[in-house]
Amino acid sequence: MLPSQVDFSKITFSDIIHDGKYSYVNIEYNKGCFVVNTPIFREIIEVEMGDKFMKCCVMVEDDNFIDFITKLETHMIDMGGLNSHKWFDASTNNWTYRSLLKKCDDNKYIELKILNGTRTKTRITESYDKLQHNELQLSSIKNFNKDYPTRFIINIDMIYFRRNVMQLNVRPVYVEQLILEDYGFSSDEDNNDKLSTIKEGDEDDE
């Protein structure tokens, strides 16, 4: 599902579940998983590979995706207000929401944790055209390369609570990477990034 297709009125929540260090509510969309396609991210800032999962910081430059995250989080804050008597301890008078979007200078990024295992499907391809037509090859998350353009399918599966802090949990369940050594981006009128291969020797005529 594309971010533009999301109808926030179809998001529902489970009863709160208490699990040791934190509590959480599960999220469903239209009685199923809440999964959303991301745009192609051209820059992965940092990758940290662990035993159980890989953590990566992804630069977010697509205005439409930033707008979607902003509206989604505003909706979650509204739901937190409506359900505060159920989601937070009765003694909690003030609570805060921790945003998915982080700031570094004037840039925004999202930190994602990707499970190392068969639960996360990973695909690679050689060109944008093949990506559009789903001509992809199975790969391992351990072959993830931060220098390649990447897009994800993310599962927005829960809100978790620690003390008086509330945050969305976003889990990539599908990863696609383009194996291109030379590439460039151009933007169309609708502000959608398009990827094009840069051929050796191409120069601008002036």
> What is the residue-wise DSSP string for 183-196?
EEEEE-TT--EEEE
Closest C-alpha to 32, from 58, 5, 47, 11: 11
Confidence at residue 206, expressed as pLDDT on a 0 to 100 scale? 39
Confidence at residue 184, expressed as pLDDT on a 0 to 100 scale? 46
Asked if residue 76 has pLDDT above 90, the reply is yes
Confidence at residue 128, expressed as pLDDT on a 0 to 100 scale? 58
Report residue 180: phi and psi, to 5°. -130, 125
Summarised one tens digit per residue, pLDDT across range 129-187 is 665 556 666 666 777 888 888 888 899 999 988 878 899 999 888 888 877 644 444 44
Closest C-alpha to 172, from 187, 196, 200, 153: 153
What is the dihedral sign for C-alpha 28, 141, 145, 126? negative
* Residue 177 to residues 97, 108, 126, Cα–Cα distance (Å): 32, 21, 8
Asked if residue 21 has pLDDT above 70, the reply is yes
pTM value?
A: 0.76
DSSP-derived secondary structure letter, 146:
T
Confidence at residue 48, expressed as pLDDT on a 0 to 100 scale? 83
